[in-house]
Chains A and B, each alone.
Chain A
Amino acid sequence: MNRRDFLGLAGGAAIAPVLGPIWAARADEAPQRLVVVMLRGAVDGLNVVVPYGEEAYYAGRPTIAVQKPGAEKGALALDGHFALHPALSSLMPLWSDKKLAFIHAAGSPDPNRSHFDAQQFIENGTPGRPTTPDGWMNRTLAALPGARTPTDALSVGPTLPFILRGPVSVANLPLGPKAAAPMAIDQPQVASAFDRLYAGNDKQAAAYRQGREARTELVADMPAEQQMADNGAPPANAFPAVADRLAGLMTRDRHIRLAFVALGGWDTHVDQGSDAGQLAGHLKPLGDGLAALAKGLGPDWNDTVVVVISEFGRTVRENGNRGTDHGHGNAIWIAGGKVNGGRVYGDWPGLADAQLYQNRDLAITTDYRHLLAMVLERHLRLPDAAMAKIFPDMPASKGNLGQILSA
């Protein structure tokens, strides 16, 4: 009898004793993992991976451009054409180690400049089709071989985002400083009474059981942490600590194959800053957090791919308020042990007026689905047949991703 069957029979009434030796799984082949970090609000990719070789970049952004490498507070050179925002300096070791790459001029081909529709199209995997009922990470989960466990996929946070919604139930867990604090449901008498209340087959009962199981499995062996002052810190500032906890969970619970984190605060319409300022203030904890995740995963980093994606890019030219408005193409970030990094991938369309999308935005030359499909095929080892379900309308590949991932 496997763990899932046992739980099913028990109706969720007795869970603690069947946790099983999680560490036993370490003897198995290391699981291949995918972590997706979504930057909600449209990060300004042109100030993240700066095309410093383009005169049009500096012409269009007189007050917010990041200066060329070598200049004071300049960007950090990636190659002869692109450079990284200086607030992301903590990622440079990964870049030098060739474990970090960027795909520029990438994104969802849908022309919509609505945050909410565009995020939906990144999450449902079908740009232009808002009615798709489930997220592509949930469809990916369904396609993964092996028995399901309550923590195959994990969403970090108090709600379950669309990308992970669908037929397969998915755990979510806030990873704030109080994640492991005791709860009423930890008391056996309370738990058994509520188990009887939620003994049905409906969605609420399923969510309840998933919550119980995930809590038992994830929180039981989480180190009891000091109560930290939260001070209402904006979410992005908390990311390094969250990433560190996520790494801890992933190394301890080898069932976790997919993880998702969303960060907000990227909608920089006014006074976004250049080397310092609003955007820099959000990039710094993101870079630090990704570095902490890589470090915290230890040997598991070799079997992990991290993708950082946003719903669209921002206008090439700054607006009238030292900010940027909603645009089109963006840079997608990818890091991990099997990433052939140290390179900026994708066909760069240029920033001259005639090269822009609708005369205002970076054009898209790589559909985000092509990159993700490659991750699913080469890294998670899903067959072609699964891809047709996960990204059903994906056009034939045109993107230039080369050997961005080793099989």
Chain B
Amino acid sequence: MVCCRRLLAVFVGVALLVPLSVRAEPATDRQIIHLLNRIAFGPTASLVAHVKAIGIDRYIDEQLDPAALPEPPALTERLAPLDTLKLGASQLFAQFGPPSEETAGGMQQTQGDSDARMKRDDSILQQARAARLYRAVYSPGQLQEVMVDFWFNHFNIYAYEGYDLLWIGNYEAEAIRPNALGKFRDLLLATARHPAMLYFLNNEANTAPGSPNAHDLFSGLNENYAREIMELHTLGVDGGYTQQDVTTLARIFTGWGFNYADLQSGSGSAFAFDPLRHDASVKTFLGQSIPAGDEEQGVAAIDILSRSPATAHHIAFELAQYFVADQPPPALVDRLAKTFLDSDGDIKVVLKTLLTSEEFRDSVGQKYKTPYQYVISAVRAGDVDVRNVVPLWWTMERLGMPLYLCQTPDGYKNTEAAWLNPTATTVRIDFASLLGSGAFLLYAPEKGEEATKLVADRTPASELKPRPIDAVALEKLLAPALSEQTRNVVAFGANWLKAALVLGSPDFMRR
């Protein structure tokens, strides 16, 4: 018997191995580039070699567990000088104070004070941008950074909305990135509690009318967050809620706000629930009863929202649209929605279903890159040494997608209709030409004191020379994803223009 069992085990093992070995037939370069165009910000030579060595399935698994991937020195050295990223939300507020348009402690500021403060506050934003872009270019956890892009837009906030100038980087670091591959419910709750979201959608001011702590600006309900959390973050606009649900949810969330003691002392989480601004009565929300209570009412509402089939469908649609096609196949969306519900909103499990689907595999080149994806993928493909992100950020702004400056809570779209237009095409080509020729001097510090802090290479200005992209290496890397027409035009192009032609080609604008 024992012998037979062993034999059986061996057979089972073999049976399991067979389909694996069938799937492990070497992926083509085109398949690898397709994968890296979607779960990374495009290919690099070393990454293509890595995927070729371990196989597509193992690479996906690797990407789903980014904590196991060590941070490379190239990234560590770039992040090290970004000191404001090491501060928590309360510390940022205590050290940098209310942004410039506010009066400091009731004292009128002079214009000089105000300008100085504006500049100082803006340096926090510059550092947040630098960190985001360095991670997108250099992080080995590419899928995590892709999901940061996805979730940041899903839970968008705007940097020039009052205090959010101080907090936008911290919001990403504490609410978005750690949960980008986690449970949706945790992500939703983390955004709901973060002071940046509380401020952006005015939930921090949302107050039960007539409650003991109602006062001045904080004297009654504010529907803003209650509406957007349902419309944008969870159920979707057709998710079946009513105006009554919006008002009820606003009442449920009364009392969620800032911890002013934390903000003054510069320690603690900055979030506090104030029972004295809360409407604790029993609520009926989306047809479900929520018993009388304090903060737990809001948490119960978040549980209801994150487990709703409408939410599952909404998130499934957005993921399929981001990773597969602008009009994603309905059958795929349905499968992802089911996976979302079955796994209690486990983002990793949903992504694994998506990335191993036929629909994903067969959607080569169906997506048009957003300006963000286009710029980062060009820098990566060209193996550019980036120590100054300002020209990259400026290009995104020229293309209508300045990082952290989408004013509205719906975030930037990722569809072709949103980004393909006449001016965008000429501006992308301009960027490709400047990047290809090395004219951006990305390896060198940006002028100006604050920006200089962000870079490590301190080549004297007199020795700064453009470092053009190696067009031969670039073409070799991307050739499997270029049409014959493009390869021909590049072949006949002037040498100094070849890299620009590859990066400015219609093929490279797709993913």
**A residues near B, CB below 8 A?**
40-41, 112-117, 157-160, 162, 165, 169-174, 183-185, 189-190, 193-194, 196-200, 202-205, 207-208, 210-212, 214-215, 232, 234-235, 264-265, 267, 269-271, 319-323, 325-326, 358
A264 touches B408 (CB 8 A): yes
For A265, the closest partner residue in chain B by CB is B407
- Give chain B's interface residue range (CB within 8 Å of chain A): 35 or more
Some 8 contacts from A to B, beta carbons below 8 A apart, are A159-B400, A183-B427, A190-B500, A197-B501, A200-B485, A202-B506, A323-B222, A325-B223
Q: Which single member of B218, B433, B509 contacts A184 (CB below 8 Å)? A: B433
Residues on B with C-beta less than 8 A from A214 are 422-423
Minimum Cβ distance to chain B for residue A64 (Å): 11
| Residues of A close to B497: CB separation below 8 A | 189-190, 193
Extra inter-chain contacts (20) besides given A114-B227, A208-B429, A211-B422, CB under 8 Å = A116-B237, A116-B408, A158-B399, A158-B427, A165-B417, A171-B422, A172-B421, A174-B423, A184-B433, A185-B426, A185-B433, A208-B425, A211-B423, A232-B122, A265-B407, A269-B201, A320-B206, A320-B214, A320-B222, A326-B227
Q: Are A321 and B426 in contact (CB under 8 A)?
A: no
The A-contacting residues of B in range 318-336, CB under 8 angstroms, are none
> CB distance A116 to B205 under 8 Å?
no
Which residue of B has the minimal Cβ distance to A214?
Answer: B422
* B199 nearest in chain A by CB position: A270
B393 → A minimal CB distance (Å): 11
A319 touches B400 (CB 8 A): no
Which listed segment binds A: B10-18, B282-290, B344-352, B486-494?
B486-494
B227 and A270 contact, CB distance less than 8 A: no
Minimum distance in angstroms from B443 CB to a CB of chain A: 20
Min Cβ gap B223→A in Å is 5
Q: CB of B123 within 8 A of chain A?
A: no
B229 CB to nearest A CB, Å: 13
- Chain B residues contacting A198 (CB-CB under 8 Å) are 425, 506
Q: Does B209 contact A (CB under 8 A)?
A: yes
| Residues 203-260 of B at the A interface (beta carbon under 8 Å) | 205-207, 209, 214, 217-224, 227, 231, 237, 243, 246
7 tightest CB-CB pairs across the interface, nearest first?
A320-B220, A158-B400, A211-B422, A184-B433, A160-B421, A210-B422, A159-B400
B422 in contact with A113 (CB, 8 Å): no
Residues of chain B within 8 A (CB-CB) of A157 are 400
Which of B122, B220, B237, B426 meets A117, CB within 8 Å? B237
Q: Judge whether A197 and B506 touch: CB under 8 Å.
A: yes
**Is B430 a contact of A185 with CB atoms below 8 Å?**
yes
Q: Could you tell me the distance between the alpha carbons of A269 and B408 in the complex, rounded to whole angstroms? A: 13
Q: Is the CB of B426 within 8 A of A320?
A: no
Determine whether the beta carbon of A112 is less than 8 Å from that of B217.
Answer: no
Contact (Cβ within 8 A) A172 B423:
yes
Known contacts A117-B237, A189-B497, A193-B497; is-contact A173 B423 (Cβ 8 Å) = yes
Taking CB atoms, residues of chain B closer than 8 Å to A112 are: 237
CA distance A321 to B422 in the complex (A): 43
Is B420 positioned at the interface, with any CB of A under 8 Å from its CB? yes
